[in-house]
Amino acid sequence: MFGYGNEWWALLVVPVFLWIPLGPLTMAGLGVWSALRPGRWWPRLWSVLLPLLPVTVSAVLVFLPLDSWSRPGHTRDVVHYALVYIGALTVLPWLLGRGITRLTRTLRARRDRAAAVPAEAPARA
C-alpha cells in the first residue's frame, strides 16, 4: 500500500483511524463550544467542517467499489457503519456535549435567579 508513487490517497486514511479515538472528544468539545455561544454560526460551521474529511473518506471506502453491493450482507455493513462511525463517534458526542452544557447553564441560571429573590419575612401575629 505505501511506498508507491501512485498510492498518495492512502494518506487520506490516516484521519479516519485517528477519528476513532479522538473524534468523540473533539465533537463533544465542539458541542460545548456551540452551546456556550448560542446564535453564533462559527462553532456550528466548525462542527461540520472538522469531521468532514474522516467521515467522507471512510464513507467512500465503505460504499465503493459499487460491485460489492451484490455481496450478501453489504447493506447491513453500511447500516452498521452509519450507526457506529457517523452516529456514535460523531453525532452523539456533539449532542451530549451541547445538551449537557445547555442543561447546566439552565440549572445555574434558575438557581441564581432563585437566590436573587429576597426571602419573604414571616408574618407577625
> Is residue 120 in some structural domain?
no
> Is residue 6 in some structural domain?
no
Q: 121 to each of 4, 48, 80, 82, 95, how far by Cα in Å?
A: 83, 53, 62, 60, 44
> Is residue 73 in some structural domain?
yes
> Is residue 125 in some structural domain?
no
Asked whether the beta carbons of 86 and 54 are under 8 A apart, the reply is: no
> Is residue 32 in some structural domain?
yes
Q: How many domains does the chain have?
A: 1
Q: Give residue 21's pLDDT.
A: 93
Q: Give pTM, 2 decimals.
A: 0.77
> Is residue 99 in some structural domain?
yes
> Mean pLDDT of residues grouped by 10 in the chain (125 residues)?
64 88 94 88 91 90 84 90 92 94 92 78 63
> Is residue 1 in some structural domain?
no
- Each as own residue / partner, the long-range contacts of residues 44-52 (CB below 8 Å, 24 or more positions apart, any chain) are 47/94, 50/26, 51/19, 51/23, 51/26, 51/27, 51/90
Range of the domain at 82: 13-113
- Grid cell in block for residue 30: 465542539
Q: Give residue 63's pLDDT.
A: 85
> Is residue 104 in some structural domain?
yes
Q: Give residue 89's pLDDT.
A: 92
The whole-angstrom separation of Cα 44 and Cα 37 is: 10
Q: Give residue 18's pLDDT.
A: 92
